[in-house]
């Protein structure tokens, strides 16, 4: 199992880095977790969009889902080595009620001379509106949507396969489900937006909370993402915050980093 950081910026892309986007590869599946602005461009460094088996959206905030349309349009122009299946569509997992909003997005930019280009959510994707707490099966893995706490209904995403497990917080404030999300997971991919805890309804984590959740859950490693600052000193301080609570490996994400299960030195 492999995890590649496609984008890791909190909020808008900056300094050459895209917003949230993470490519998970199991033995038989390629899954993109979130696809914020810039991810459609950066994804091409790793694979053609038509090679994806699934895209899973944690919540409908722009910095986590805006590139779902261009990625769908990319997928409609199939790569030469894409699997040869006449109706092979990417499974697009989105929160319940999202389909109407996706159709509104596609309708904003019509191509009148090629109507099929306006139908990415029919032709490129099989749209699946998930219920919070549901689990879906994809070839060789399961995708569990664990309810989190955020200003928009949000879920953490846990992927289990014979080759390993990855849990992604999405955006969330502290809640008891964090420990269940990360229980005994190989890679705990966790947002670290804040320097200090925030108990308002905004719904974001600080690194100290990530470390406590990872320790309580028995996670095997932590990868910090959705970082609130690009300043190296700030990021190193957040890594130290996690390590004060959790005695396993802690990594600061950067675009292009690749993590493997069983663990290898990240590249």
SS (H, E, C) the chain: CEEEEEECECCCCECCECECEEEEECCCCEEEEEECCCHHHHHCCCCCHHHCCEEECCCCCHHHHCCHHHHHHHHHCCCCCCCCCCCCCEEEEEECCHHHHHHHHHHCCCCCCCHHHHCHHHHCEEEEEECCCCEEEECCEEEEEEECCCCCCCEEEEEEECCEEEEECCCCCCCCHHHHHHCCCCEEEEECCECCCCCCCCCCCEHHHHHHHHHHHCCCCEEEECECCCCHHHHHHHHHHHHCCCCCCEEECCCCCEEECCCCCCC
d(CA 107, CA 103): 6
**Helix (H), strand (E) at residue 68:** helix 68-76
More confident residue, 42 or 116: 42
Percent pLDDT > 70 in the chain is 94
Q: Are 145 and 9 in contact (CB under 8 A)?
A: no
- What length is written for the chain? 267
Task: List pLDDT tens digits, range 11-29.
Answer: 999 988 999 999 999 999 9
State the DSSP H helix or E strand holding residue 240, giving kind and residue range, or none if neither. Answer: helix 232-243
pLDDT tens digits, 174-228: 999 999 999 999 999 999 999 999 888 889 999 999 999 999 999 999 999 999 8
The pLDDT of residue 265 is 64
What stretch of H or E contains 41?
helix 39-43
Contact 175, 210 (CB under 8 A): no
Q: What is the pLDDT of residue 201?
A: 84
pLDDT confidence band for 262 (50 / 70 / 90): confident
- For residues 35 and 82, which has the higher predicted lDDT (pLDDT)? 35
Q: What is the mean pLDDT of the chain?
A: 94
Which of these ranges, 54-58, 75-79, 133-137, 151-155, has the smallest mean pLDDT? 75-79
- Give the separation between CA 78 and CA 73, rounded to whole angstroms: 10
């Amino acid at each position: 199992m492999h995890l590649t950081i496609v984008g890791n910026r909190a909020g808008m892309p900056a300094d050459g880095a895209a917003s949230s986007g993470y490519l998970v590869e199991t033995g038989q599946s390629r899954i993109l977790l979130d696809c914020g602005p810039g991810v459609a461009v950066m994804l091409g460094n790793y694979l053609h969009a038509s090679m994806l088996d699934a895209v899973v959206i944690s919540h409908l905030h722009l910095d986590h889902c805006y590139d779902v349309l261009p990625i769908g349009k990319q997928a409609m122009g199939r790569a030469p080595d894409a699997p040869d299946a006449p109706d092979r569509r990417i499974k697009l997992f989105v929160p319940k009620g999202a389909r109407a909003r996706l159709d509104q997005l596609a309708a904003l930019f019509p191509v009148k001379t090629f109507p099929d280009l306006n139908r990415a959510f029919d032709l490129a994707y099989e749209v699946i509106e998930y219920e919070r707490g549901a689990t879906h099966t994809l070839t060789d893995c399961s995708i569990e949507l664990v309810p989190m706490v955020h200003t928009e209904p949000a879920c953490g995403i846990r992927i289990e396969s014979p080759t390993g497990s990855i849990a992604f917080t999405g955006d969330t404030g502290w809640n008891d489900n964090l420990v269940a999300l990360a229980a005994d997971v190989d890679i705990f991919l966790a947002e670290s937006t804040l320097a200090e805890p925030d108990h308002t309804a905004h719904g974001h984590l600080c690194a100290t909370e990530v470390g406590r959740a990872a320790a309580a859950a028995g996670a095997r490693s932590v990868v910090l993402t959705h970082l609130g600052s690009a300043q190296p000193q700030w990021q190193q301080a957040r890594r130290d915050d996690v390590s004060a609570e959790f005695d396993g490996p802690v990594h600061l994400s950067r675009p292009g980093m690749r993590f493997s299960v069983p663990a290898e030195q990240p590249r």
